[in-house]
């Protein structure tokens, strides 16, 4: 096995490839190769700077560390969607091609059989296969969903280089058989069940308050309205004891409609003797 070397890892995968017949699969593979080649050409990455591995419905590219990752991201965000639109505009419904893509960085070695070996490569493959990335593509009409690793976001995306707007990337946690994986999804989060959406990971360097849960990337909920002075008590339920116009119901509370509240009740600052 060779010594591990630093590489940029680019992965593409065709959506619903196994649902097609042999003729359609052969066509989709040709289109996949064409999209990958045109994207890399647009990034200024020629064939001498990359190695390709064929995985049937996907391709894996190992790109030399000297090639520009910024140019690659710019090409993926601009050239790849253009290529997909051009292909699908002329293709029958059964031959439409939609792609998931992952960009990561890490160390990869080549074993004695020519296979690629490395935990960073395994990590990238698991990002590509994650349910959340599949869900994101399923909900989009632009035929493309891109995810980048934490290292790519930290080193490139967050700095706001031309053509790579950081505000379009959202932190996510993707499920895998080896546990949760941190990554950044380009474009909106999918409208998926909460258990399929990312969870907050404390101390991971993301912006305060911008978690990985269902509300990640969405504006905060507005504060409950307060009642005007003299308009009577306002009822706010926030997960603890209910408050009435800023005051507190102490003791046990049973029921919301038609129930009975037990314990001391303080409304608008009134004390137990009935005076304010």
Question: Measured in whole angstroms, how far is the alpha carbon of residue 199 from the centre of its chain?
Answer: 11
Check whether residue 18 and residue 125 sit in a common domain. Answer: yes
Residue after which a domain boundary falls, among 196, 217, 243: 196
- Higher pLDDT: 247 or 107? It is 107
Check whether residue 62 and residue 162 sit in a common domain.
yes
Is residue 45's pLDDT more than 90? yes
Pair (135, 48) in one structural domain: yes
Tell me the pTM: 0.69
Predicted pLDDT of residue 240:
44
Confidence of residue 83 (pLDDT cuts 50, 70, 90): very high
Q: What is the pLDDT of residue 176?
A: 78
Domain membership of residue 213 (yes or no) is: no
How many Å apart are CA 233 and CA 243, to the nearest integer?
Answer: 9
Span 118-123, average pLDDT: 92
Same domain, 134 and 177: yes
**94 within domain boundaries:** yes
CATH of the domain at 94: 3.30.70.1230
Please indicate, yes or no, whether residues 37 and 110 belong to a single structural domain of this protein.
Answer: yes
Asked if 51 and 107 sit in the same domain, the reply is yes
**H, E, C per residue of the chain:** CCCCEEEEEEEEEECCHHHCCHHHHHHHHHHHHHHHHHHHHHCCCCHHHEEEEECCCEEEEEEECCCCHHHHHHHHHHHHHHHHHHHHHHCCHHHCCCEEEEEEEEEEEECCCCCEECHHHHHHHHHHCCHHHHHHHHCCCCCEEEEEEHHHHHHCHHHCCCCCCHHHEEEEEECCCCCCEEEEEECCCCCCCHHHCCCCCCCCCCCCCCCCCCCCCCCCCCCCCCCCCCCCCCEECCCCCCEECCEEECCCEECCCCCEECCCECCCCCCCCCCC
Residues 171, 231 within the same domain: no
Q: What is the pLDDT of residue 192?
A: 58
Q: What value does the mean pLDDT of the chain take? A: 78
Give mean pLDDT, residues 42-49: 96
For residue 7, the model assigns a pLDDT of: 96
Same domain, 188 and 236: no
Sign of the C-alpha dihedral computed for residues 47, 49, 51 and 56 taken in this order: negative
- Give the residues across from 62 on adjacent strands: 9, 51
Q: Are residues 258 and 190 in the same domain?
A: no
Task: Confirm whether 122 is domain-assigned.
Answer: yes
Q: Kindly report which listed range (197-201, 210-214, 266-270) carries the lowest average pLDDT score.
A: 210-214
Pull the structure tokens for residue 262.
């037990």
Q: In angstroms, rounded to a whole number, what is the distance separating the alpha carbons of residues 181 and 198?
A: 10
Predicted pLDDT at 69 = 98
Task: Calculate ∠ Cα 133-139-140, nearest 5°.
Answer: 90
Q: Is 205 exposed, middle or buried (0-12, 13-18, 19+ CB in 10 A)?
A: exposed
Amino acid 18: pLDDT: 87
Counted domains in the chain: 2
The most confident of 139-143, 207-211, 222-226, by mean pLDDT: 139-143
Residues 150 and 236 in one domain: no
Tell me: do 178 and 65 sit in the same domain: yes
Of the chain, the end-to-end C-alpha distance in Å amounts to: 82
Residues 258 and 125 in one domain: no
- Is pLDDT larger for residue 227 or for residue 93? 93
Can you give the residue range of the structural domain that contains 110? 5-196
Mean pLDDT of 246-253: 44
219 lies in some domain: no
pLDDT in tens, 176-195: 777 888 999 999 999 854 34
User: Which of 47-61, 83-97, 142-156, 262-276 bottoms out in mean pLDDT, i.e. has the lowest?
Assistant: 262-276
Q: Is 60 exceeded by the pLDDT of residue 173?
A: yes
The answer to whether residues 49 and 67 touch, using CB atoms and an 8 Å cutoff, is: yes
Asked, for residue 170, whether it belongs to a domain, the answer is: yes
pLDDT band for 96, please (50, 70, 90 cuts).
very high
Residue 263 has pLDDT above 70, yes or no: no
β 243-244/247-248 pair status: antiparallel
27-44 pLDDT tens trace:
999 999 999 999 999 999
State whether the Cα torsion 103-52-180-111 is positive or negative: negative
For 41, 64, 79, 111, 248, the CA distances from 47, given in Å and listed in that order, are 9, 10, 18, 21, 70
């Amino acid at each position: 096995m060779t010594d591990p070397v630093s590489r940029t890892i680019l992965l593409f995968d065709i959506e619903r490839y196994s649902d097609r017949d042999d003729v359609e699969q052969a066509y989709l593979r040709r289109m996949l190769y064409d999209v990958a080649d045109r994207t890399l050409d647009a990034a200024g990455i020629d064939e001498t700077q990359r190695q390709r591995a064929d995985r049937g419905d996907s391709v894996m590219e190992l790109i030399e560390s000297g090639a520009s990752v910024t140019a690659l991201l710019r090409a993926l965000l601009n050239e790849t969607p253009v290529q997909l639109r051009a292909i699908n505009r002329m293709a029958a419904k059964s031959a439409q091609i939609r792609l998931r893509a992952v960009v990561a960085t890490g160390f990869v070695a080549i074993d004695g059989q020519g296979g690629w070996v490395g935990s960073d490569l395994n990590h990238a493959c698991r990002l590509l296969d994650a349910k959340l990335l599949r869900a994101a593509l399923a909900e989009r009409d632009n035929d493309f969903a891109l995810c980048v690793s934490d290292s790519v976001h930290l080193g490139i995306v967050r700095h706001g280089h031309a053509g790579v707007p950081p505000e379009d990337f959202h932190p996510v946690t993707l499920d895998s058989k080896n546990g949760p994986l941190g990554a950044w999804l380009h474009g909106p989060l999918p409208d998926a069940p909460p258990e399929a959406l990312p969870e907050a990971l404390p101390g991971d360097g993301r912006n305060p308050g911008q978690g990985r849960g269902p509300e990640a990337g969405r504006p905060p909920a507005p504060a409950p309205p307060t009642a005007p002075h003299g308009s009577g008590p306002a009822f706010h339920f926030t997960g603890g004891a209910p408050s009435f116009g800023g005051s507190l119901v102490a003791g046990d509370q049973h029921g919301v409609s038609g129930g009975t509240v037990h314990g001391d009740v303080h409304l608008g600052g009134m004390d137990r003797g009935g005076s304010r």
